[in-house]
């Protein structure tokens, strides 16, 4: 590659990153305007995002402040996530507020009584009522700034999950997130062994490696992603909890980058900050590896 071509390539990436920075700055300026903005201005800001996305963002911004302490915590986890041979205790509120793919899955699980009968709620309680009570409990446990916004509904009233799902189903496949992404949900069964229950040779933060499920009276969600071990899914999950961009970026390699992009897409994590992170990695790689431009074509962010 000539010096001129190299300069053009570098300039192209700088232009893309600058454009993303400009858009991000614009969003921040509109979001961080005076707290006494008029109701007209507030309405205009709110309708820029679908209601369900806006509400999820509000909650995520509160929970993420305690994300590092929540990651891998078994005490208040309310679901077991199996990915490849890895097993994680996760928090429904965190994953649902950060990923619309997880949000739809948990919607379905709640509608199917995956957490068992709820004696303190009406039999016909909607899933968003159950979900909001769990979110409120988690917010109380971690005292998220005492902010009332952390106790808001994840879903507007018109966004109820389907009511006509067979309540007796305890194992099913969910394939409406991405055609190539297999996701299944099952009730916990301490008597059934699996590869994911076996301890790993090397313990990774956030993973369960002791193989002890005696205290797991929790529903289990199994998702099938692309090369979860090689792509370091545990780092993607940690990023969901903390938005630690630098740590996540360190797990990117030329060998696992394509899988990382696919998994970002499967979980509907596309955003301008994520795109900027991916472009930063691409810019640091040798053009001969053929990674330049993958993020733009794979994530398809408009």
State the pLDDT confidence band at 294, using cuts at 50, 70 and 90.
very high
Report yes or no on 288 lying in a domain: yes
Arithmetic mean of pLDDT, 283-295: 96
177 and 289 both lie in a single domain = no
The whole-number pLDDT of residue 173 equals 31
For residue 107, is pLDDT > 80?
yes
Report yes or no on 204 lying in a domain: yes
Among the ranges given (52-66, 71-85, 246-260), the one the predictor scored with the smallest mean pLDDT: 52-66
The whole-number pLDDT of residue 264 equals 97
204 and 62 both lie in a single domain = yes
257 and 199 both lie in a single domain = no
User: Could you tell me where the beta strands, DSSP code E, fall in 139-266?
Assistant: 171-174, 182-186, 220-224
278 and 139 both lie in a single domain = no
208 and 242 both lie in a single domain = no
238 and 131 both lie in a single domain = no
Report yes or no on 23 lying in a domain: no
Structure tokens at 164: 């006509």
Give the DSSP letter of residue 207: B
Write down which residue in 174, 197, 224 finishes a domain.
224
Write down which residue in 224, 246, 280 finishes a domain.
224
171-174: strand order across its sheet: 86-90, 79-83, 220-224, 182-186, 171-174
204 and 235 both lie in a single domain = no
Which percentage of the chain shows pLDDT scores above 70?
A: 48
208 and 243 both lie in a single domain = no
Report yes or no on 26 lying in a domain: no
Report yes or no on 1 lying in a domain: no
139 and 278 both lie in a single domain = no
Give the domain extent around 49.
38-224
- pLDDT tens for 214-227 read 445 899 999 999 99
Report yes or no on 202 lying in a domain: yes
User: Could you tell me where the beta strands, DSSP code E, fall in the chain?
Assistant: 79-83, 86-90, 171-174, 182-186, 220-224
The whole-number pLDDT of residue 22 equals 62
Write down which residue in 168, 199, 224 finishes a domain.
224
Report yes or no on 96 lying in a domain: yes
95 and 211 both lie in a single domain = yes
For residue 228, is pLDDT > 90?
yes
Mean pLDDT over each residue of the chain, to the nearest integer:
68
CA 283 – CA 286 distance, rounded (Å): 8
159 and 50 both lie in a single domain = yes
114 and 203 both lie in a single domain = yes
- pLDDT tens for 5-52 read 444 555 566 666 666 666 555 444 444 444 343 333 333 334 455 666
Are 87 and 204 contacting, i.e. CB atoms less than 8 angstroms apart?
Answer: no
pTM of model > 0.75: no
The whole-number pLDDT of residue 260 equals 98
CA 128 – CA 158 distance, rounded (Å): 10
The whole-number pLDDT of residue 253 equals 98
C-alpha dist (Å) from residue 141 to 96, 115, 150, 181, 288: 18, 19, 12, 34, 50
- pLDDT tens for 141-191 read 444 444 433 333 333 333 333 333 333 323 333 333 332 234 455 443 333
Number of domains composing the chain? 2
Is the model more confident about 32 or about 62?
Answer: 62
Report yes or no on 24 lying in a domain: no
The whole-number pLDDT of residue 55 equals 74
- pLDDT tens for 235-252 read 999 999 999 999 999 999
């Amino acid at each position: 590659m000539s010096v001129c071509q190299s300069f053009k390539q570098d300039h192209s990436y700088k232009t893309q990153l600058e454009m993303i920075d400009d858009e991000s700055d614009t969003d921040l300026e509109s979001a961080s305007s005076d707290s006494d903005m008029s109701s007209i201005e507030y309405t205009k800001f709110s309708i820029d995002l679908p209601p369900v996305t806006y509400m999820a963002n509000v909650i995520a911004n509160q929970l993420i402040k305690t994300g590092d302490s929540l990651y891998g915590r078994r005490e208040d986890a309310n679901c077991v996530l199996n990915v490849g041979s890895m097993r994680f205790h996760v928090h429904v509120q965190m994953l649902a507020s950060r990923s619309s793919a997880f949000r739809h899955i948990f919607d379905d699980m709640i509608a199917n009584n995956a957490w068992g009968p709820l004696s303190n709620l009406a039999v016909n309680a909607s899933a968003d009522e159950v979900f909001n009570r769990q979110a409120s409990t988690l917010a109380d446990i971690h005292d998220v700034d005492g902010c009332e916004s952390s106790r808001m509904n994840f879903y507007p009233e018109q966004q109820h999950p389907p009511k006509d799902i067979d309540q007796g189903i305890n194992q099913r496949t969910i394939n409406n997130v991405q055609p190539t992404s297999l996701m299944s949900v099952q009730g916990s069964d301490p008597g059934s062994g699996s590869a994911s229950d076996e301890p790993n040779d090397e313990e990774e933060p956030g993973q369960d490696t002791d193989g002890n499920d005696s205290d797991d009276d929790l529903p289990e969600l199994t998702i099938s992603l692309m090369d979860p071990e090689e792509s370091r899914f545990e780092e993607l999950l940690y990023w969901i909890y903390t938005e630690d961009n630098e740590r996540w970026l360190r797990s990117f390699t030329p060998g696992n980058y394509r899988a990382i992009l696919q998994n970002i897409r499967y979980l509907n994590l596309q955003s301008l900050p994520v795109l900027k992170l991916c472009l930063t990695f691409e810019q640091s790689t040798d053009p001969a590896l053929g990674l330049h431009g993958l993020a733009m074509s794979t994530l398809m962010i408009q």
